[in-house]
Every structure is written in structure tokens, then in C-alpha cells.
Copies of this chain bind each other. A is one copy, B any other.
């Protein structure tokens, strides 16, 4: 990718900035060649990568180097786009919101500071991936389990900060963060919660502060750079029981949610329950062309044929119970009775006991996996996906409403429908995976039109996204319109007070410092 300079910087000023950065991190960790820029571009970009270009990347190895880089960025007025491991697939990967930003790559910060088996937590730096932490846990033979997202390449910390979800009792990853170390926009260093006291052993244990707690100010945020965090880990259970149901029809999702959500809210089910539609299973069986080789969405008659052929339900429900076998059995009986009110077929049951092997597919047992990413291959070519992800109350009224509307719009755009609902408590994350071939211009154009339409339609109905691709951060922020965008106005006031040069991730989640034009100076979409 060719060089795009940071806004308002001359080539000479840019070169001076890079020289200063190199004096901190060493020449080899200032990455500014065309190939370097390619490495940080959005490999799933819905359009040419050059639409979200960067100028360079800087990769510090320690918190002191991060502080020094931030101070220099203030001096040179260069926007920094911090990434942990840059695996935010479907949401922009490592690419920045403002053209020509410098990627602050924290991937070299890979220390695991603590792994406490008694109290169930670890303390990690941004570069620690799920695979790294998994290996560390295995090596230490620690009886602890991670909660992993679909993409197991990413950063434990980065995923939690971006409101990532997983499919265990610890599935709202941001809620597991406890005690952050943060480089402030002026280069100063803060610790949140009980960490605000030197050497307080409850830093990563008590989830509040004395005074206001700032932890969640730093999630989906451009107000600071998190360089270390406590992450709660689930004790590895003595045993686990998994119940699997195939749910025949699309409309069944209504009773499914109304049956499961109350048990989740009551605590009988502890896990975040993931309910994918059939395509979630089909992408693991082959490519689209193996099942239907025409352009446009697979027609309904063929979908029904495929479900019969492959003995798939329209939806699949898997509920995993963790703990003592006797307790799991008692819970399973209650859950099976509740499901049996709607469905004759009993679930498949799968028992796991400590000592039994775990498989690469066992994301609900904390095994990081790249298997779900196979969906990138569905359409063929340089396959990619974007996620349209509204948050919906966990009640049939809302679930069916959102499903019908998004289903119709996706059908109108002649795109294969792949939705999932993850019941996280009183709400569900409804993730609609939109898959495309990056080199097919017509497909890309169509996906973009579709994405715009989905955001508009959900907002009209009153629902908002929990996360989005860098290219749509502003349109989504615009939908959060209460009292003339009061929350955004508030956040920007805080932003301007703390980061007057606007150097930390300007535009992230639609938060713009005064130092940069709203929407990055682009026309609003």
C-alpha cells in the first residue's frame, strides 16, 4: 500500500516524527514500507484497502516506550491508532479510522504478569493472544478456562476492550476486565480500581473503585491506551454436560429465546448461549459452490433440501453446563423439561469429565479456535465478512421483529442469510454475517448498500449496534441520537479535555476530537 501521510503533515514532518519514534523503539520497529502498510491494512475490507489507509506502524515493547511514543505523537500531532494484535476481523482488522494514522502496534507486549489459580484471574498485556494464554494455562497446568470468541487469533485484552463476546459463563468479555493500567493521552500512567493504590492485592479482584470507576471508559474508546489488564478466568469445572437440539423452523427462534432467556437470567444456565442459523454449520462442510452454484442467495426450496440432506435444523441450540456432575444433571433435567414443552426430540447429550481430551471445536470449553473463520471461504475468491450486530432484548417480541426485518432486507439484496443470536442475559447479540468476495466489485457494492440499509432500518425500529466496522463508525454513532447525541457530546467533551491534540484514535466509534474534522472530513454517508 502506498504512503498516505497523516493529516496536515508534510513529508519532512512525517520523516522527523518517524525518526523520533525510532529513537524510542529502535529502527526496526518503525514500519513504513509499502509491504509494512499492507500488513496492517484491512484484509477483509469491503472495498480497496486504500480506502482506509495508514502511514506507518510503530511497535513499542514496554509501557515506558508506549508513554514515550504518546508524548512524541503529541509533539508531532500524529494520530495513533492503537491495536493489540490487529485481528478485529470484520470490523477493520488493524486499519485506522483516519487516513494516514500511525498504527500503534502493541503486539510485542506479550507478558503474562500473573496467573492466579486460587482466585481465578490473569494479568495480561495487549499482545497476549488467546492461543498464547491457552498454552500458558496448559503449561502451568492451571485449572482455569478462558472465554474465547469465534476468532482465536486475536488478543485477549483487545477483544474484551472492543466488547467481544464468547460462549461460556464469562462471555461478556468486557465484564471480566478488572483493574487496568492505562497510558493517558499525555503519556502519564494510571491504574484503575484498587490499582490506584500502590501494590494493592485486590487490584484485579474488586470490580469497582474508591470513587468513580474508569474501567469501562476505556472500552471501545479513544481516551487512553490500555497496556495491562486483569482478566477473570473461570475455574475449570470437574465436569461438563452439553445438550444439543436441532430446531426445525425459522420461527421457532421465538419460543427458543423465551424458553432459554429466563433460565439464563435466573442463573440456571450460566453460559452465553449461542444460537446460529443453519449456515453456521454449512460453512464448515464446504464452499457455497458445493451446494448451489448460481449467483444470488440460495433459494428457499434449496435451503430446505439442504437441511434435510444434512440433517440440520434451521437453528442449533447448544447449552453447556459446568460444574459438579450431580448439579449439572439436576440442571439438565429442568432445561430438558422446559424445551420438551415445545419440541419432541430429546437433545443429544455429551458428557465431559476432567481428564477427557478437548477438541479444537470446543470453544465453549475455552479452546481457542480458528474454525469459525472458515466462513470466509464460503463465497470463494478472497472471501471476507462483515458483521451487522444489533443488540436486541432477549424476548420473542423483539427477536422476531428484528429477525423479520433484517431477513427481508438481506433477501432483497439477494445475499445468503446467516444470523446468530447469543443470549447474554437480558439481551441478545444478533450477529448477521455478510460474506463476500473482495474482488467482486458488484458483490462489494451490494454488501455496502445492504449494510447501510440494515443500520438505517434497525435504528428506525429503535435498535442499535454494539460494534461496527471502521467505515460505519460514524453512521452508527449518528443513530445514538438521544437529546441531540448527548452521550457523544459528553464523550467528546471529555476527549477534548484529556487529549487536546486528539492523537489517540480520532474517530473511533464516532468520537471526534476538536483537532480533527468530524467524519474524518469525508461527506457523511
* In the complex, A465 has a CB within 8 A of chain B: yes
Q: Is the CB of B219 within 8 A of A426?
A: no
Q: Is the CB of A326 within 8 A of B333?
A: yes
Residue of B nearest to A189 (CB): B483
* In the complex, A245 has a CB within 8 A of chain B: no
Pairs A–B under 8 Å by Cβ, sample size 7: A120-B426, A201-B398, A210-B476, A211-B221, A211-B508, A212-B509, A213-B217
How many residues in A have their beta carbons less than 8 Å from beta carbons of B?
Answer: 106
Q: Chain B nearest CB: distance from A53 CB in Å?
A: 24
Q: Is the CB of B323 within 8 A of A327?
A: no
Q: Chain B nearest CB: distance from A253 CB in Å?
A: 16
Residue of B nearest to A485 (CB): B196
For the complex, give the distance between the alpha carbons of A36 and B459 in Å: 48
Chain B residues near A425: list those with CB within 8 A.
205, 207
A residues whose Cβ falls under 8 Å from a Cβ of B:
118-121, 163, 169, 172, 174-175, 178, 184, 188-192, 194-202, 204-221, 223, 232, 234-235, 237, 261-262, 265-268, 270, 322-324, 326-327, 329-331, 333-334, 391-395, 398, 424-427, 459, 462-468, 476-477, 479-483, 485-491, 493-494, 496-498, 508-511
Q: Is the CB of A212 within 8 A of B219?
A: yes
A494 and B491 in contact, given A201-B393, A210-B464, A334-B324 (Cβ under 8 angstroms) = no
A490 and B265 in contact, given A205-B425, A218-B212 (Cβ under 8 angstroms) = no
- Choose from B191, B210, B265 the contact partner of A220 (Cβ within 8 Å): B210
For the complex, give the distance between the alpha carbons of A265 and B323 in Å: 11
- Choose from B200, B211, B459 the contact partner of A197 (Cβ within 8 Å): B459
A267 and B323 in contact, given A191-B486, A212-B218, A212-B220 (Cβ under 8 angstroms) = yes
Chain B residues near A188: list those with CB within 8 A.
483, 486, 489
A326 and B322 in contact, given A426-B120, A464-B210 (Cβ under 8 angstroms) = no
Chain B residues near A190: list those with CB within 8 A.
482-483, 486-487, 490
Query: Which among A118, A220, A465 has the highest number of chain B CB atoms within 10 Å?
Result: A118
For the complex, give the distance between the alpha carbons of A459 and B199 in Å: 10
- Choose from B210, B221, B223, B398 the contact partner of A509 (Cβ within 8 Å): B210
Q: Is the CB of A210 within 8 A of B477?
A: yes
A211 and B324 in contact, given A391-B194, A464-B202, A483-B188 (Cβ under 8 angstroms) = no
Q: Is the CB of B217 within 8 A of A486?
A: no
Chain B residues near A498: list those with CB within 8 A.
490, 493-494, 497
Q: Chain B nearest CB: distance from A432 CB in Å?
A: 16
Chain B residues near A163: list those with CB within 8 A.
208
Residue of B nearest to A117 (CB): B262
Q: Is the CB of A487 within 8 A of B392?
A: no
Chain B residues near A119: list those with CB within 8 A.
261, 265, 393-395, 426
Residue of B nearest to A194 (CB): B464
For the complex, give the distance between the alpha carbons of A510 and B217 in Å: 20
Query: Which among A195, A208, A220, A510 has the highest number of chain B CB atoms within 10 Å?
Result: A208
- Choose from B195, B219, B330, B479 the contact partner of A482 (Cβ within 8 Å): B195
Q: Is the CB of B267 within 8 A of A211?
A: no
Chain B residues near A201: list those with CB within 8 A.
393, 398, 462-463
Q: Chain B nearest CB: distance from A365 CB in Å?
A: 15
